[in-house]
A = this chain, B = another copy of it.
Amino acid sequence: MSMQHVLDYLKQNQARFLSELCEFLRFPSVSAQSQHKDDLRACADWLVQHCRSIGLKAEVCPTAGHPIVLAKTPHVAASRNGKHRPHYLVYGHYDVQPPEPLNLWKSPPFEARIEGRSLFARGSTDNKGQIFAHLKAAEAYLKTGTPLPCDLTFLIEGEEEVGGENLVEFLKTRRKELHCDAIVVSDTGMPDKKHPALTYGLRGIIAFEIILHGPSRDLHSGIFGGAIENPAIALSGMLAKMHDKNGKVAVPHFYDGVLPLSAYERKQFKRLPLPDSALQKLLGVKKLYGERGFTATEQRSARPTFEINGLTSGYQGEGSKTIVPAWARAKITCRLVPNQRPSHINKVVCDYIKKVCPPTVRLELEAGHGAEAYYVSPTGAHAQAALRALRGAFGREPVLLREGGSIPIVNEFKKVLGADTLLLGLGLPEDNAHSPNEKFDLDNFENGQRMSALLWQELNATS
């Protein structure tokens, strides 16, 4: 059996693959919401059954949180000539972001809807659809009896959207078994359908939560207002000090060590097919805005940020309620770039928040552990193999990207398994990842399957 059989098999089975993916998308596997615990377990069970049905050896691996699904191609002994048989790890996640606000969805988030070449559902692009493309490529090898030139292990976790620590524990415990030549992840994006992409850099992240406590209870704003600090006003005042007038983060030492963009990178970025005007239209903003001296592409991929993800204080309902709220909260995340250490950012941000907090309120401040940014040379052998697979699958010249999002686990792969990660994303900017009406492009689904099938050959040719 040859590669052509694999590609033919993929071509012939698209309708079934789609219906299977819809089934996968039906599970409301929202890892952030504790009421969905059983849904995550059910989703993992379904996934294991599915992996077994396509010929993989699969198991549900319990963790302290949501379970991990592990699935392997049938073990092949070292090849005839005693040469090292490569082993690649394919990583993905079956958990999804919360679907809220529900009223903005045009169809229910967990009932997949097909419209043209788009598949709408929470998790369709992030990440169920993308990991499913890799599974279908493996299925094509296994069901056509075409020999894989390598061993594959699929590692599909349930805590990616909540940054769970359990996967790291799992990597450490199973370090030997998971030892591999490289990790392949499709959880990033491509700039448009005509530009398949290899992502060679990611931003890191660190989360903070500020709660300012004022009076011991919500107070009548008529009887008491004027003589006490309003925590929502105090919080606004603090948050207003987080950026300077050039759009730079105003926290002292925030930019310590930030890796500057090379002339080569800035040139590569200019090849990208998304002009500012198109980005502005895509996002529906009145005007683009960011750190002065950088293009929008640079701002959102290679520069650090300080973002408010949520604000809460006082009355949230209809009409008005005349209170001085007892507390005010901001949920914050900073995106980090290569050479920014999360522990350093944690310290300088917390120091600054404490410094700008007025003495009239009590500060409750929490910081997450954070994840470093990631950066790998795009000229290495693995990256070059990946670019060939992309070219072959999409029939187009791929671009090189740095992405603004974070995939913390990529750093752990490097640290624990000692291997680099190839980021071969199939998501599009208009896919609404983390937003209402998330979708996945069905051409990318199909090209992604082909890319995965070709990749194992190209990596083998390289090694």
**Contact yes or no, B321 A434, CB < 8 A:** yes
Q: How far is the CB of A446 from chain B (nearest CB, A)?
A: 23
Cβ–Cβ < 8 Å partners of A207 in chain B: 320, 322
In the assembled complex, the Cα of A435 lies from the Cα of B215 at a distance in Å of 11
**Contact yes or no, A235 B233, CB < 8 A:** no
Q: How far is the CB of A375 from chain B (nearest CB, A)?
A: 15
Q: Is A300 an interface residue (CB 8 A)?
A: yes
Q: Is A317 an interface residue (CB 8 A)?
A: yes
**Contact yes or no, A289 B433, CB < 8 A:** no
Q: Is A436 an interface residue (CB 8 A)?
A: yes
Q: Is A263 an interface residue (CB 8 A)?
A: no
What DSSP secondary structure best describes chain A's contact surface? loop
Q: Is A331 an interface residue (CB 8 A)?
A: yes
Cβ–Cβ < 8 Å partners of A162 in chain B: 319
Q: Is A177 an interface residue (CB 8 A)?
A: no
Query: Among the interface residues A218, A233, A404, A433, which one has the most CB atoms of the partner chain B within 10 A?
Result: A233
Query: Among the interface residues A33, A232, A433, which one has the most CB atoms of the partner chain B within 10 A?
Result: A232
Instruction: Identify 11 residue pairs between A and B in the complex whose beta-carbon atoms are under 8 Å apart, listed by A's number.
Output: A226-B303, A227-B299, A228-B288, A230-B307, A233-B242, A233-B308, A237-B239, A240-B240, A286-B359, A311-B312, A320-B331
Cβ–Cβ < 8 Å partners of A309 in chain B: 221, 232, 314-315, 320-325
**Contact yes or no, B315 A331, CB < 8 A:** yes
* Minimum CB distance partner of A432 in chain B: B217
Per the CB 8 Å criterion, the residue count for chain A at the interface is 99
Using A217-B436, A223-B403, A236-B236 as known contacts, list a sample of 14 further A-B pairs with CB atoms less than 8 Å apart, ordered by residue number in A. A98-B315, A222-B403, A223-B433, A226-B303, A226-B335, A227-B279, A227-B297, A227-B299, A232-B239, A235-B236, A308-B325, A310-B313, A310-B314, A311-B314
Q: Which of B218, B403, B406, B429 contacts A435 (CB 8 A)?
A: B218
- A residues 77-109 near B (Cβ < 8 Å) are 97-98, 100, 104
Residues of A within 8 A of B (CB): 32-34, 97-98, 100, 104, 162, 189, 203, 205, 207, 209, 214-230, 232-233, 235-237, 239-243, 279, 283-291, 296-297, 299-301, 303-305, 307-325, 328, 330-331, 333, 335, 358-362, 368, 403-406, 429, 432-437
Q: How far is the CB of A258 from chain B (nearest CB, A)?
A: 13
In the assembled complex, the Cα of A100 lies from the Cα of B433 at a distance in Å of 39
In the assembled complex, the Cα of A203 lies from the Cα of B310 at a distance in Å of 33
In the assembled complex, the Cα of A331 lies from the Cα of B325 at a distance in Å of 11
**Contact yes or no, A429 B223, CB < 8 A:** yes
Query: Among the interface residues A218, A241, A331, which one has the most CB atoms of the partner chain B within 10 A?
Result: A331
Q: How far is the CB of A140 from chain B (nearest CB, A)?
A: 30
**Contact yes or no, A225 B305, CB < 8 A:** yes
In the assembled complex, the Cα of A203 lies from the Cα of B311 at a distance in Å of 29
In the assembled complex, the Cα of A242 lies from the Cα of B316 at a distance in Å of 21
**Contact yes or no, A315 B307, CB < 8 A:** no
**Contact yes or no, B224 A404, CB < 8 A:** yes
> Which A-B residue pairs are the 5 nearest by beta carbons?
A216-B284, A222-B405, A240-B240, A236-B239, A232-B308
**Contact yes or no, B404 A223, CB < 8 A:** yes
